[in-house]
Amino acid sequence: MHIIEMSSEAVPFAKTGGLADVVGALPKPMARAGQKISLFMPLYRSVREAASSLTDTSIRVHVPLAGVAETGEIWTSKLPGADVNVFFVGHKEFFDRDGLYGNSAGDFHDNSRRFIFFTRAVLEAAKSLPAPVDIIHCHDWQTALAPVYARTLYANAFAGARTVLTLHNLSFQGIFWHWDMNLAGLPWELFDWKHLEFFGKMNFLKGGIVFADALTTVSPRYSIEIQTPEFGCGLEGVLAERRDRLHGILNGIDEDVWSPERDSKIPAHFSVSDLSGKRACKAQLQKRTGLPERNVPVFGMISRLTEQKGVDLLLGALPALLEDDVQVVILGSGDSKLQGLLQEFARRFAGKLSLTVAFDDRLAHEIEAGADMFLMPSRFEPCGLNQMYSLRYGTVPIVRETGGLADTVVDCTEDTMQRRTATGFRFIPCTVEAFLGAIHRSLTVYRRPDQWNRLRENGMKQKFGWDTSAARYIELFRHLLEG
Ligand code: ADP
């Protein structure tokens, strides 16, 4: 199969979140399995800095935007460590700036124009590739119009191709004013409640959901949750209508980067059969974060500081948690109000609570390796990566039972301990009490070393590599082409 992957970000070229990890990792096992992958993304300013070699293909594509022809330059490079061609769509005005979607002043005002251009430019370029396209795989709102185009303006060019849209987070939909239908060059008949219209505006993600041949989410549980008003962000009805085409495929983790046996960013290595290095990692984490080097349980958290991640629950739980003889290490950035509240706590509980407000990849690795427990009280979590990293590093996750967290962490009960399936602690109600309940259960087990060791061992033995997920994508693509 020839698969076009189109995304607004991909590791190692540009990243703001989990989307980049997925799109940077998924093509590798698919290529190893013999598929031909062409990955397309914008040529941001940061790409010029991150890509080791960039070649101009001299292909130029022309996209009409409300009567003005805009030209895209197609540059190319390879995805590191894989036989995958990456194509970058260059356009000075749209992509040669700091930031991917916005800056400290907010979202860029021309995001609609930028991503309509990018999506059409990819389709124009794909037409000129020597191998015919079998699958067009797009991700999130930025490229969600691709399935709409493939069945309208580009119906002839891609008659034999099938389209797949992966939903990484329903809370970002690409909602713009209705006149952007003109910018997109799409027929006004599509501006109705059954297609692209959403409360009087144009909704890119809705268009993709309606037109794609298949939809995927990044965990099975999230694929069910988003069909309900609580998680569907207004699109639950459209998603429920298309549920026969909606599949949940769990993300993997890149074990070249995240494994305690060979992580280059941690002070000592360890494995399920020899955990001595983890003690050194804990001591180093305490030292680095200014906490006393004592043999007490250390709770870690690495997060965007947003409501989604349950930071309010954390704030509610901290005073009671810190009454115990424990330490808490938090790394995060985001909402300035939540940041301020956490800073107040850090001052009040100095010596027990360490807070680092930054995006610090090395410290993230050190926390995963050095902490005993990991806190993830998310309100919703499409997949979540940190709980999977925690399991790999013998850091027992305490999670809210939602989305990918529910799919990857097995609650510790008498029964699951006996069956050796327990890997962490889960709570359901979105309340401080429920969160504290799970925390206290973890402390009880922590104080029984035999049980604690078994729990950690169960988690470390979990397999979260990308091969299984890639095989499921390939199976889905094949099924679409045969159907
Ligand atoms: P989301 O994509 O919703 O932010 P995920 O758990 O899927 O959440 O992935 C977040 C990724 O970003 C993880 O690899 C996590 O370690 C990393 N991360 C989040 N915040 C920080 C931070 N402040 N510093 C370093 N890494 C961070």
Ligand 1 pocket member 304 (CB < 6 A): yes
pLDDT of 207 reads: 98
Q: Are residues 195 and 160 in the same domain?
A: yes
pLDDT reading at 334 higher than 90:
no
Q: Say if 329 falls within a structural domain.
A: yes
Write down the mean pLDDT value for the chain.
Answer: 96
Pocket residue to mutate for ligand 1, from 170, 302, 308, most atoms within 8 A of Cβ: 302
Domain that holds residue 17: 2-252+466-482
Pocket residue to mutate for ligand 1, from 304, 365, 381, 399, most atoms within 8 A of Cβ: 304
Compute the distance from residue 2 Cα to the ligand 1 centre, in Å. Answer: 31
Q: Say if 268 falls within a structural domain.
A: no
Among protein residues, the one with the nearest Cα to ligand 1's atom 8 is 384
Q: Are 88 and 76 in contact (CB under 8 A)?
A: yes
Residue 334: phi and psi, rounded to 5, are: 150, -130
Q: Say if 257 falls within a structural domain.
A: no
Pocket residue to mutate for ligand 1, from 7, 309, 359, most atoms within 8 A of Cβ: 359
Compute the distance from residue 231 Cα to the ligand 1 centre, in Å. Answer: 21
Q: Are residues 455 and 330 in the same domain?
A: yes
Could you report the per-residue pLDDT of 240-277, keeping only the tens digit for each? 999 999 999 999 998 878 899 999 999 999 999 999 99
Q: Are residues 471 and 453 in the same domain?
A: no
Could you report the per-residue pLDDT of 356-401, keeping only the tens digit for each? 998 888 999 999 999 999 999 999 999 999 999 999 999 999 999 9
Ligand 1 pocket member 333 (CB < 6 A): yes
Q: Say if 36 falls within a structural domain.
A: yes
Calculate ∠ Cα 248-251-256, nearest 5°. Answer: 165
pLDDT of 104 reads: 76
Ligand 1 pocket member 331 (CB < 6 A): yes
Compute the distance from residue 302 Cα to the ligand 1 centre, in Å. Answer: 7
Ligand 1 pocket member 161 (CB < 6 A): no
pLDDT of 156 reads: 96
Tokens 């390939």 identify what position? Answer: 474
Q: Say if 79 falls within a structural domain.
A: yes
Q: Are residues 39 and 158 in the same domain?
A: yes
pLDDT reading at 7 higher than 90:
yes
Q: Are residues 135 and 172 in the same domain?
A: yes
Q: Say if 347 falls within a structural domain.
A: yes
**How much is the average pLDDT of 428-445?**
98
From the list 427, 400, 402, the residue with the least C-alpha distance to 413 is 427
Task: For the full predicted model, state whether its pTM sits above 0.85.
Answer: yes
pLDDT of 168 reads: 97
Compute the distance from residue 301 Cα to the ligand 1 centre, in Å. Answer: 10
**How much is the average pLDDT of 226-233?**
97
Q: Are residues 209 and 294 in the same domain?
A: no
pLDDT of 483 reads: 81
Ligand 1 pocket member 219 (CB < 6 A): no
pLDDT of 16 reads: 85
Q: Are residues 192 and 297 in the same domain?
A: no
Q: Are residues 245 and 317 in the same domain?
A: no
Ligand 1 pocket member 303 (CB < 6 A): yes
Q: Say if 203 falls within a structural domain.
A: yes
Flag the least confident range among 14-23, 35-44, 147-156, 343-352: 14-23
Residue 418: phi and psi, rounded to 5, are: -65, -40
Q: Are residues 123 and 74 in the same domain?
A: yes
Peptide bond into 12 cis (omega under 30): yes
Compute the distance from residue 213 Cα to the ligand 1 centre, in Å. Answer: 31
Number of domains in the chain: 2
Burial (CB count within 10 angstroms: exposed 0-12, middle 13-18, buried 19+), residue 268: middle
Pocket residue to mutate for ligand 1, from 257, 263, 354, 385, most atoms within 8 A of Cβ: 385
Instruction: Report the largest interatomic distance among the alpha carbons of the chain, rounded to a whole angstrom.
Output: 70
Compute the distance from residue 12 Cα to the ligand 1 centre, in Å. Answer: 15
Q: Are residues 213 and 161 in the same domain?
A: yes
Among protein residues, the one with the nearest Cα to ligand 1's atom 12 is 17
CATH number of 429's domain: 3.40.50.2000
Calpha distance 112→122 (Å, rounded): 16
pLDDT of 46 reads: 87
Q: Are residues 450 and 474 in the same domain?
A: no
Q: Are residues 368 and 416 in the same domain?
A: yes
Could you report the per-residue pLDDT of 90-131, keeping only the tens digit for each? 999 999 999 999 987 889 999 999 999 999 999 999 998 999
Q: Say if 271 falls within a structural domain.
A: no
